[in-house]
Amino acid sequence: MKKERSSRPKRKRTSHIPAGVPTLSKKDFESDQDTRWCPGCGDYSILAQTQRIMPELGVPREDIVFISGIGCSSRFPYYMNTYGFHTIHGRAPTIASGVKMANPDLSVWVITGDGDALSIGGNHFIHLMRRNFDLNVLLFNNRIYGLTKGQYSPTSEQGKQTYSTPLGSLEAPFNPISLALASGATFVARSLDRDPDHLRMIIKSAFEHKGTSFIEIYQNCNIFNDGTFFQYTEKDTKADNTVFLEHGEPLVFGTERNKGIRLNGFQPEVVETSNGDYTTDDLIVHDQYTEDTTLANFLAGMSDTPDMPHPIGIFRSVRHPCYEDAMTNQIRSAKDRMGEGDIEALLNAGETWTVS
């Protein structure tokens, strides 16, 4: 696989590792299990970037838990030398919620796919987003069911011909970013399996975000849906078909970086900044920290609009209270108000009588 570098400016990284903690390497996060994805699968890259970024997060291995559902991507926890739980189809969000609630100190990562998260687990996905546990969700979107050998998924384009839809699929696809935003997600981002630097940067930003972080990763299934995202990931076409989101920066893209996104009424449109009609001042300036979701929704919708570049990067990053903190607060204030639970008193509560 060719190495691709995006044209974005590099971000300054800060180390999270406190002094005195032994430094870990990528190797420390590799389990002793053979990785069993098809050769050439995009999952390899995502695994490698995750293993590479983990040492930089400064979290001891024993405090990290990877939880997955079912599907190709969901094999992921077996390859991470951390705690891991390969659960059942679509239900990883529920198990991850229990893990995080029972021990809020853990760093919890949900690994899922387009079928797992959006079809069989759709209900859990939206509720996970709105509860805002402090955990991270990596959705490997390859727009196909791989493990079951190639049926269309909820992100497959309408009319997709697969084994189960020889005459074409009938329904319109989900947009995972729009769905996450509509469900109240506090951190929503998109990255690419074939852009390792960007992917690591996004994974790290997700980790740093306090609250549920959702990352959609365009991932290539080279067996059943090869090239589905190539126009966004490959060298020749990437620059003209993607726009990288940078907070505070105008939405500029293109090989010559002479194209941008402007709002025309309620409609984002592509304009050229080199022919004198528009300047970068006319372009949308990205604000990932705004509470209002209007901009993020505009950006999310671009990938549903033909001939628009797909935004890559962080759509939204806002701070809301986390479920587990709110629960912990309820417990603390109940103890303040009523005193630490006294089990003898509880059993003997209410009207009692004694027989001697």
Partner 1 sequence: MRKPVEQIEEATILFAGDSGDGSQTIGTQMTETTALIGNDVATLPDYPAEIRAPAGSLAGVSGFQLHFSSEQIHTPGDLCDVLVAMNPAALKVHLHKLKPNGILIVNIDNFARRSLRLAGYEDNPLEDGTLAKYQVFPVELTRLTRKALETTDLSTREIDRCKNFFALGMILWLYNRPMEYTMKWVKTKFARRPQYIEANILALRAGNVYCEATEQFAVSYDVKPASFEPGTYRNIEGNMATVLGLIAASHQSGLPLVYGSYPITPASDILHGLAQYRNFGVVTMQMEDEIAAVGVAIGAAFSGSLGVTGSSGPGLALKSEAINLAMIAELPLVVCNIQRAGPSTGMPTKTEQSDLLQMFYGRNGESPIPIIAPSRPFDCFETIYEACRIAVKYRTPVIFLSDLYIGMGAEPWRIPKLSELPEIKADFAGREYAHGNGFEPYQRDPETLARPWAKPGTPGLEHRIGGLEKSDITGHVSYDAENHQRMVEIRAEKVARIANEIPPTEVFGAQEGDLLLLGWGGTYGAIRTAVEHSVEDGLSIAHVHLRHLNPFPNDLADILNRFKKVLIPELNSGQLLQLIRSTYFIDVIGLNKVEGQPFHVFELQAKIDAIFKELGHF
Residues at the interface with partner 1 (CB under 8 A)? 31-33, 60-65, 67, 70, 77-78, 80-88, 91, 93-103, 105-106, 123-124, 127, 327, 330-331, 334-335, 337-341, 343-344, 346-356
Minimum separation from the CB atom of position 335 to partner 1 (A): 5
CB nearer partner 1, residue 166 or residue 339: 339
Minimum separation from the CB atom of position 264 to partner 1 (A): 39
Which residues, including other chains, have CB under 8 Å from residue 2's CB and lie 6 or more apart?
194, 234, 235
Minimum separation from the CB atom of position 76 to partner 1 (A): 10
SS3 for 110?
strand
Give the distance, in angstroms, between the CA of residue 132 and the centroid of all CA atoms in the same chain.
13
CB nearer partner 1, residue 5 or residue 332: 332
Minimum separation from the CB atom of position 101 to partner 1 (A): 6
CB nearer partner 1, residue 27 or residue 337: 337
Minimum separation from the CB atom of position 54 to partner 1 (A): 12
- The C-alpha atoms of residue 124 and residue 170 are separated, in whole angstroms, by 24
Minimum separation from the CB atom of position 249 to partner 1 (A): 37
CB nearer partner 1, residue 107 or residue 175: 107
Q: By C-alpha distance, which of 275, 288, 294 is closest to 316?
A: 288
CB nearer partner 1, residue 97 or residue 233: 97
Which H or E run includes 137?
strand 136-141
Length of the chain: 356
Distances (CA, A) of 248 to 189, 209, 267, 290, 302: 16, 18, 20, 11, 19
CB nearer partner 1, residue 248 or residue 339: 339
Give the distance, in angstroms, between the CA of residue 62 and the centroid of all CA atoms in the same chain.
22
The phi, psi pair for 19, rounded to 5°, reads: -60, 140
- The C-alpha atoms of residue 208 and residue 217 are separated, in whole angstroms, by 18
